[in-house]
Structure 1
Amino acid sequence: MSDFTAAVATAEKALRDLFPATPLQLNEHLSARYGTEIWLKREDLTPVRSYKLRGAFNAMRKAIAAGSTRHFVCASAGNHAQGMAFACRHFGARGTIFMPVTTPQQKIAKTRIFGGDSVEIVLTGDYFDQTLAASQHFAAEHAAAFLSPFDSADVIEGQATVAHEIMDQLPGAADLVVLPVGGGGLSAGVTGYLGAESPSTGFVFAEPMGGTSLKTSLESGFQVTLDKVDSFVDGAAVARIGDLPFARLRGFSPDQVLTPPEDRLCITMLDMLNVEGIVLEPAGALSIDVLQDLHAAGELAGKRVVCIVSGGNFDFERLPEVKERAQRYAGIKKYFILRLPQRPGALRDFLEMLGPHDDIARFEYLKKSARNFGSVLIGIETTDPANLTALTKKLDASGFACRDITNDDLLAQFLI
């Protein structure tokens, strides 16, 4: 047993004072779909509904034991803040949590609930970089320990306890572990532990298409800071992989990193909610979503696969957006700008082109002053993408000028 795996075993034992091991469940639905064993490591069932509690707890445990500090600082608007808050209350330590001013009240309230009187929340900065800078300045000024969400050896060690539990729970070695990637702390910990204790286990990484910091860095051979990040997958949308995580992950191939589109993740979230009753945040769906890519590539057959479900902190106020994005990705909802002739019967002519399963979800005149034509924003929902293809052909054949703006990000931002 290496020093690292021994330290992880110690951390895992200490964690039992905080919560029991999260379940590792054979998922019959996914196993039947892909024709192999699919196990889910349910990190959405920790007390704070994500694995982030593990790293925060371990880093704080070691700092307190060393007598270095009992005051901890972090910058986070999500799972890391909640994990640190929960651990602060457990240890009776002081926590100062910096959050952007734009953080939703629901996340602020949950962090306060988990931390109680042990934590103070400071709202500062419109953007996370501003919040991070303020938190690090505060930590230095007050001789407090800045607790990174992923760029810390003790945090990585804590996240690796996920792998220790998997080995205890799984009936035999895993052939493949699918890991969600944000800053890289979880992946660095799990690959480090299983690489030593289960060398036959392979790894696949999943990071959102709008935040491919690991894949881009592996392709370049050095850490890359992305110019732009899509924040939809807020638990994994990181512009730069952590220094320590990248040092431990740089030996992997960029081909091992899959990058599912954000809108497709929405389909997976809805599928797990409707079929399994499992509530996932976008980052929590990453490892499950890429199973379809692995299956299509023939990389699942005959394998025992473990997907780490990284989080379930989903605000149901986002559900309409998730449904909308899922429908658009699946091709069963589209938006058009229709140039409608200003004559009696023109609207009726259009309506008669709709099929029995086509439903108008949006209808809005955009230009009411035109003498001969009027522009209409129209949204159509249906049951099969082929129905919208058929509708488009009917419109073209009938001379209706129509433009599909479903995937036009600029127009969609202003009109949809």
Structure 2
Amino acid sequence: MSFQDGARAAEQAMRRVFPPTPLLRNDLLSDRYGADIWLKREDLSPVRSYKLRGAFNAMRKVMRDDAVFVCASAGNHAQGVAFMCKHFGVRGVVFMPVTTPQQKILKTQMFGGAQVEIQLTGDYFDETLASAQKFCAETGGHFLSPFDDEDVIEGQASVAVEIEAQLGRLPDRIILPVGGGGLSAGTRSHFGTNVQYTFVEPQGAMSLAEALKAGAPVDVSPINNFVDGAAVAKIGQRTFARLVGADLGDVLNIPEDRICTTIVEMLNVEGLVLEPAGALAVDALKDVSEQIAGQTVVCVTSGGNFDFERLPEVKERAQRYSGVKKYFILRMPQRPGALKDFLSILGPEDDIARFEYLKKSARNFGSVLIGIETLKPENFDRFRAALDAGGFTYTDITNDEMLAQFVI
């Protein structure tokens, strides 16, 4: 059986469990980029990500009544495995780091019900993974990889099968987020060279790009975990074998803060709730805008498991990236009227978002942490000029990541 036939068979088998996720044309993005842009809404699957596809396909192929399925995950893979354990009525053991947010633990338990046992172990994922693999060795459990498994790759390729059927033709280009590579390997293996590809990684975890440069998977640790659904330190061996030959120029890396601007826009304008990895493909349109004019483009919104407790951080990152929010350490004279003089510098579109006295640095001066929000980035040119004219000493710490960890 060819890979394409296997992917089609997997997609048909899934219909007993859940319907195809929608493929929806997006007018906002189509008008903005002068293209026919469609979103493959994997964020609308039963577990709000595509991960249950690979879990389903891998589990159905080794199914037996006494099977025990084991995975290590703190996110979408855990929820996909849990959902399928409940569907098949088999036992599942999900290993999660001790630091996993309670919301993710509760969702995994909700999807799995009585069929799933959750074990919290290790502060870091490597420790959690080692515990899961040790458990499998001792009990004979079947380990379910989140991406580096041929059956998982075949299951993720069902996304491509649905796109072709729903669109009624092949798209000119498909834009895919990349973490461990299961979705991109499956899609590329199904479509072959019949479409153009844009693979998108977060800037803090460029495992595919570095693997293509080296000719083999390489560990890119330490990684930035903000885009947790795609933050993988080393792309899979099997997934990379299916991505060998991809053009390095088709692999983009997106700054984590820029991804936040797309999350906020999609939420505020389109009402779409996307996790950071789920927004990668949409955000990448900014970088391929000149290439896609007149094309039919499909962006895979891979997940929507967004914890709204993260929204203030996402908004903060988006504002800082867009240049409409900045932080300064201001050396202010300790005299009557000094604060009034400073406030007179603010323009009609400026707002104080934070004002905190930090430390008295001299008898006649004090240091203040101040955060300013404005409507247009260019307003800060006028603001700095006014500070200079007023004789204020200041330091812009907006992009100082080390300092920001402590004071922002």
Class of the TM-score when normalised by the shorter of the 2 chains: over 0.9
CA distance in 2, matches of 1:154, 1:249: 16
CA shift, 1:347, in A, is 1.1
Partner of 1:136: 133
Partner AA of 1:19 in structure 2: F
Among candidates 257, 277, 280, match of residue 286 of structure 1: 280
Partner of 2:393: 401
Partner of 2:61: 62
For 1:232-265, what per-residue CA distance to the aligned partner results, in whole angstroms no more than 9, with x for missing partners?
1000000000110111112112111111111111
Total equivalences in the alignment: 408
Partner of 2:122: 125
2:298 aligned with 1:306: yes
Partner of 1:106: 103
Among candidates 230, 237, 242, match of residue 248 of structure 1: 242
Partner AA of 1:79 in structure 2: N
Partner AA of 1:133 in structure 2: A
Partner of 1:387: 379
CA shift, 1:398, in A, is 2.1
2:406 aligned with 1:414: yes
CA shift, 1:125, in A, is 0.2
Partner AA of 1:120 in structure 2: E
TM-score normalised by the chain length of structure 2: 0.98
Partner of 2:321: 329
Partner of 2:226: 232
Partner AA of 1:330 in structure 2: S
Among candidates 77, 81, 84, match of residue 80 of structure 1: 77
> What are the equivalent positions in structure 2 for 1:10-25 lying under 5 Å apart?
10-25=9-24
Percent identity among equivalent residues?
A: 64
Partner of 2:28: 29
Among candidates 157, 162, 166, match of residue 160 of structure 1: 157
CA distance in 2, matches of 1:353, 1:215: 46
TM-score normalised by the chain length of structure 1: 0.97
Partner of 2:207: 213
CA distance in 1, matches of 2:67, 2:221: 37
Contact 2:361 2:367 in 1 (8 A): no
1:288 is paired with a residue whose SS is helix
For 1:175-207, what per-residue CA distance to the aligned partner results, in whole angstroms no more than 9, with x for missing partners?
000000000000000000011xxx421111001
Contact 1:69 1:145 in 2 (8 A): no
Partner of 1:44: 43
CA shift, 1:397, in A, is 2.4
Partner AA of 1:58 in structure 2: N
CA shift, 1:5, in A, is 1.0
Partner of 2:216: 222
For 1:3-53, what per-residue CA distance to the aligned partner results, in whole angstroms no more than 9, with x for missing partners?
211111111111001100011111111101111100100000100000000
CA distance in 2, matches of 1:357, 1:204: 39
Contact 1:160 1:193 in 2 (8 A): yes
Runs of 5+ unmatched residues, structure 1? none
Partner AA of 1:81 in structure 2: A
Partner AA of 1:97 in structure 2: V
For 1:196-239, what per-residue CA distance to the aligned partner results, in whole angstroms no more than 9, with x for missing partners?
xxx42111100100111101111222211012111110000000
Partner AA of 1:368 in structure 2: K
CA shift, 1:171, in A, is 3.2
CA distance in 1, matches of 2:32, 2:147: 34
2:60 is paired with a residue whose SS is helix
Contact 1:63 1:69 in 2 (8 A): no
2:130 is paired with a residue whose SS is helix
CA distance in 2, matches of 1:27, 1:191: 23
CA distance in 1, matches of 2:391, 2:204: 38
CA distance in 2, matches of 1:219, 1:399: 51
2:183 aligned with 1:186: yes
CA distance in 1, matches of 2:73, 2:194: 36
224-233 or 305-314: bigger deviation: 224-233
Contact 1:8 1:158 in 2 (8 A): yes
2:174 is paired with a residue whose SS is strand
> What are the equivalent positions in structure 2 for 1:250-269 lying under 5 Å apart?
250-269=244-263
- CA 1:114/1:17 → structure 2, altered by over 3 Å: closer, same or farther? same
1:301 is paired with a residue whose SS is coil
1:120 is paired with a residue whose SS is strand
CA shift, 1:69, in A, is 5.7
Contact 1:102 1:126 in 2 (8 A): yes
Partner AA of 1:132 in structure 2: L
2:245 is paired with a residue whose SS is coil
- The root-mean-square deviation of aligned C-alpha atoms, in Å, is 1.0
Partner of 1:270: 264
Structure 1 segments, 4+ long, off by >4 Å, are none
2:199 aligned with 1:200: no
Partner AA of 1:206 in structure 2: V
Partner AA of 2:406 in structure 1: F
CA distance in 2, matches of 1:227, 1:15: 36
CA distance in 2, matches of 1:326, 1:351: 25
Among candidates 338, 349, 357, match of residue 346 of structure 1: 338
351-360 or 361-370: bigger deviation: 361-370
1:174 is paired with a residue whose SS is coil
CA shift, 1:369, in A, is 6.3
Contact 1:69 1:144 in 2 (8 A): no
CA distance in 2, matches of 1:3, 1:70: 28
CA shift, 1:68, in A, is 9.2
